[in-house]
Amino acid sequence: MKYLFLMLLGTSVTAQFTSNFYKILATDTLDKNLATSPISIEILMRMVYMGAGGSTAQELRKVLKLPADKKEVAEKYKKLLTNLEGRKRLAILDLANRIYVSDEYQLNSEYNKLVKDSFKAEAKTINFKSLGNAVSIVNKWVNDQTSGRIRDIVSPKDLGADLKVALLSGINFKAQWQYKFDPKKTFIADFHVTAKKRVPVEMMTLIGYFEVKLSFRLDAHMIELPFRDSSLSMFIFLPFKVDGLKKLVPKIGTYFYSRPEKEKVVLKLPKFKIEYSADLSRVLEKMGMRDTFGGSADLSGLLNSSKVPINKVFQKAFIELDEEGAEEPTVPVDRPCRQCEWDFNAEHPFAYVIRDREQNTTYLQGHFVNPEK
Ligand SMILES: *[C@@H]1O[C@H](CO)[C@@H](O)[C@H](O)[C@H]1NC(C)=O
Ligand SMILES: *[C@@H]1O[C@H](CO)[C@@H](O)[C@H](O)[C@H]1NC(C)=O
């Protein structure tokens, strides 16, 4: 599936699964730059649920907090996904989800009818024994679905002749800021990877008028940077301390996004590109999906065998942000303010969240810890 702008779930679904998923993955990945879309994983696992039976279905229902009625799950998605067709905006968010099943099984013909319609994604069979072929089929599909920006979601060492079921999720995000940075003002600065280690980074800078605040619960500063012509924003959580990310990560999922007053801000933000890819099945196992990833999953609604494990959950996300934006930032001078100038200097590891303000939904999140990684 491919949307220029994805708008789903909204307020009707609890964010508990996605925030737990993020917390586990981000805590395990503090030494690397991270970009992930927990909501895409949620969509994939709900697709799996539609084909699951017995204790596998029970387990998925529990971890995903789903109702017992599968029809209810499917219909909710159908409504939400249908709403977004035709909405073309300037922010590009490609989400590509698919289930690949070894061709030693036969897909249940009813399954794709159900998920295609409701989830705008499908299951396909593939010959994992012909390794080179399988790798190129999977990579071509993801590439086509993500505006050509995600190449090589899998390599030959990721797949193998013994694979039974693999889940795939590709995400590409590209947008322009509402307020542009002047490229002539971008300079080389020190990024403090740790208190002792510094690495040069291209630092963008501007003076503007933004929603910014300080949270003692998070021990961090937070700023909201809106994207052009959309209700999407990037929230940056900058810990007070150089090494504050570890403590911050578990608290972000439950952070309530209130709207503070706008203040004048001197902003410094690294120009960054993050490409993150991993097999995320271990995160889902940690969350309690043991049957599903063990040898005994019951996927009898999906394929013609009752004991088949899901082996892998590959996700690759790509996000790139530079100076491009729509307007010059404006700084009104005739307005009283509490702290007349904020210095928001993202020169050490920080977390970010890309959210839709209207939908109250997080699409993509992660952290930036090192310009070299
Ligand atoms: C499932 O379908 C495949 C392909 O038609 C067949 O070779 C296989 O024997 C079937 N497996 C079971 C358990 O029925
Ligand atoms: C937005 O989501 C958060 C977390 O799920 C929730 O606590 C909050 O009430 C929601 N706000 C609105 C306006 O729906």
Residue with CA nearest ligand 2 atom 8 = 256
> Is the CB–ligand 2 distance for residue 258 below 6 Å?
no
| Same domain? 170 vs 189 | no
Examine residue 4 and state whether it is found in any structural domain, yes or no. Answer: no
Same domain membership, residue 123 and residue 245: no
Can you tell me which atom of ligand 1 is nearest the CA of 303?
1
Q: Counting ligands in written order, which one lies closest to the CA of residue 17?
A: 2
Q: Dihedrals φ, ψ of 113, to 5°?
A: -60, -40
292 and 192 co-located in one domain: no
Q: Which residues line ligand 1 (CB under 6 A)?
A: 105-106, 304-305
Give 107 Cα–ligand 1 centroid separation in angstroms.
10
Residue 96 lies in a domain: yes
- Does position 281 have pLDDT exceeding 50, yes or no? yes
Q: What is the pLDDT of residue 48?
A: 94
> Can you tell me which residue has the tokens 């049957």?
291
pTM: 0.89
Q: What confidence tens digit (pLDDT) does each residue in 362-371 have? A: 889 999 999 9
Determine which residue's CA is closest to atom 3 belonging to ligand 2: 256
Of the listed ligands, the closest to the CA of 14 is: 2
Cα–Cα dist 373/370, whole Å: 6
Same-domain check for residues 115 and 222: no
Please report the pLDDT score of residue 199 as a whole number.
97
**In the predicted model, what is the mean pLDDT of residues 169-188?**
93
Q: Is residue 128 part of a domain?
A: yes
Same domain assignment for residues 79 and 199: no
Do 77 and 151 lie in one domain? The reply is yes
Residues 183 and 207 placed together within one structural domain of the fold? yes
Task: Look at the block and give the residue holding tokens 């927990």.
Answer: 38
Could you read off the pLDDT of 133-156 as tens digits, one per residue?
A: 999 999 999 999 888 889 899 999
Within a domain: residue 227?
yes
Distance CA 79, CA 277 (A): 30
d(CA 14, CA 361): 10
**Which residues lie below 8 Å from residue 187, measured CB to CB, with a gap of 6+?**
202, 203, 205
Question: pLDDT tier at 229 (50, 70, 90 boundaries)?
Answer: confident
pLDDT band at 8 (very low <50, low <70, confident <90, very high): very low
Q: How far apart are CA 355 and CA 364, in angstroms?
A: 7
Report d(CA 243, CA 241) in Å as an integer: 5
Hey, is 365 helix, strand or coil? strand
Whether 23 is in a domain gets the answer yes
Same domain, 261 and 279: no
Q: Check residue 261 and report its DSSP letter.
A: P
Q: Give the count of domains, the chain.
A: 2
- Give the tokens for residue 299: 């996927």
Q: Which atom of ligand 1 is nearest to the CA of 305?
A: 13
The span from the CA of 4 to the CA of 177, in Å, is 16
Question: Is 129 among the domain residues?
Answer: yes
Spell 81-104 as b/e; 16+ CB within 10 A means b.
Answer: beeeeeeebebbbbbbbbbbbbee
Q: Among 319, 334, 349, give the residue marking a domain's end.
A: 319
Do 107 and 235 belong to one domain? no
Q: Whose CA is nearest to atom 10 of ligand 2?
A: 360
The partner residues of 362 in beta bridges, in order of sequence, read: 355
* pLDDT score at 5: 34
- 245 lies in the same domain as 137: no
User: What's the pLDDT tens digit per position in 292-312?
Assistant: 998 789 999 999 998 899 999
Asked if 145 and 96 count as a contact pair (C-beta separation under 8 A), the reply is yes
Mean of pLDDT over the chain: 87
One domain, residues 340 and 291: no
- Closest-approaching ligand to the CA atom of 259: 2
Please count the residues of the chain.
373
264 CA to centre of ligand 2 in angstroms: 27
From residue 286, alpha-carbon distances to 21, 221, 283 in Å are: 9, 31, 5
Distances (CA, A) of 216 to 120, 221, 222, 252: 42, 9, 11, 13
Give the pair of three-digit tokens for residue 78.
Answer: 């159908």
Task: Supply the residue whose CA is at minimum distance from atom 8 of ligand 1.
Answer: 105
Q: Which of 256, 259, 359, 361 is the best mutation target for the ligand 2 pocket, counting ligand atoms within 8 Å of the beta carbon and taking the most?
A: 256
Give the domain CATH number at 51: 3.30.497.10
**Atom 13 of ligand 2, nearest CA residue:** 360
Nearest ligand to the C-alpha atom of residue 11: 2
Q: What distance in angstroms lies between residue 141's CA and the mean position of ligand 2's atoms? A: 35
Q: Is 126 a domain residue?
A: yes
> pLDDT for 243-265, tens place per residue?
999 999 999 876 777 777 788 89
Whether residue 133 is contained in a domain is answered as yes
Q: Are 32 and 132 contained in the same domain?
A: yes
pLDDT confidence band for 90 (50 / 70 / 90): low
**Which domain range does residue 293 map to?**
10-175+274-319
- The model's confidence at residue 337, banded by pLDDT at 50, 70 and 90, is low
State whether the beta carbon of 256 lies less than 6 angstroms from ligand 2.
Answer: yes
Q: For atom 1 of ligand 2, which residue has the closest CA?
A: 360
Atom 5, ligand 1: residue with shortest CA distance: 106
Of ligand 2's listed atoms, the one at least distance from the Cα of 254 is: 4
Q: Which ligand is nearest to the CA of 252?
A: 2
Q: Report the CATH number that the domain containing residue 361 is assigned in CATH.
A: 2.30.39.10
